[in-house]
Amino acid sequence: MALTYAAPAHRPALAALWRLDDRLAGILRTTREPMIGQMRLTWWHGALSALDDSAPPAEPLLEELARVVVPRVPGRRLADLVEGWEALLEPTLDAAAMHAHATQRGSGLFAAMATVVGVDDPAIPAAGAGWALADLATHLDARDKADRARALAQEAFAGTAAFRWPTPARAIGAIAQTVRLDLRTDRRPHGHPARAARLLWLRVSGR
């Protein structure tokens, strides 16, 4: 739904970036051995970096990224996103690993999307860090670590409370707002009229 907030010219690149994030997440979801996961992530890091200087290999997502994203966001910046996922391979998921994941995955992804839509504001990477931490919290089985990730997410979002999302970036804002609603103690389920109304207000006002 968030992509409908974006201008049609920006949607292919935003969708490709979103698919890249999902592909990298899938590596951790489907790999039990950290060493194998590291090898797969290393391959993606090299393949993304190489997009700046050579044609992509016969991999549909890399071909799509080369076509619609790399003209605006260098492949080396996309490769930095991989490092955010590598942080989760650490034996102990401590605050430092969570911070690395938040900045390299979340801030990096949101900054790349902001570049695509032509907006540059430090509040957007900050919101990306909050988004990544909130998303991480939903996938952690250990209660103490999940609570820590949620607390860090709320801290990251606190710095963006007064930010008014520019019109071109409101698709990104909708993604951030969705997880902010999930962090509330009075969380309402997806599809609830109050959630829909809150996202509609962001689309209209930027807040």
The alpha carbons of the chain give a radius of gyration, in whole angstroms, of: 17
Query: Which is it for the CA torsion 201, 6, 22, 132, positive or negative?
Result: negative
Mean pLDDT, to the nearest integer, of 5-34?
94
Q: How far apart are CA 58 and CA 76, in angstroms?
A: 19
To which residue do tokens 């590598």 refer? 86
Closest by Cα among 99, 88, 92, 85 to 151: 99
Q: How far apart are CA 103 and CA 86, in angstroms?
A: 12
pTM of the model: 0.91
In this predicted structure, the answer to whether residue 61 has a pLDDT above a threshold of 70 is yes
Q: What total of structural domains would you count in the chain?
A: 1
The domain containing residue 88 runs over which residues? 2-205
Per-residue burial over 147-156, b = 16 or more CB atoms within 10 Å of its CB, e = otherwise: ebbbebbeeb
In this predicted structure, the answer to whether residue 138 has a pLDDT above a threshold of 60 is yes
Look at residue 178 in the predicted model and tell me its pLDDT: 83
To which residue do tokens 């609830």 refer? 192
Task: State the amino acid at position 16 in one-letter form.
Answer: A
In this predicted structure, the answer to whether residue 188 has a pLDDT above a threshold of 60 is no
The secondary element (H helix, E strand) that includes residue 158 is helix 143-158
Tell me which of 63 and 177 has the higher pLDDT.
63
pLDDT band at 86 (very low <50, low <70, confident <90, very high): very high
Residue 109 CB contacts under 8 Å (≥ 6 apart), including other chains:
17, 21, 81, 128, 132
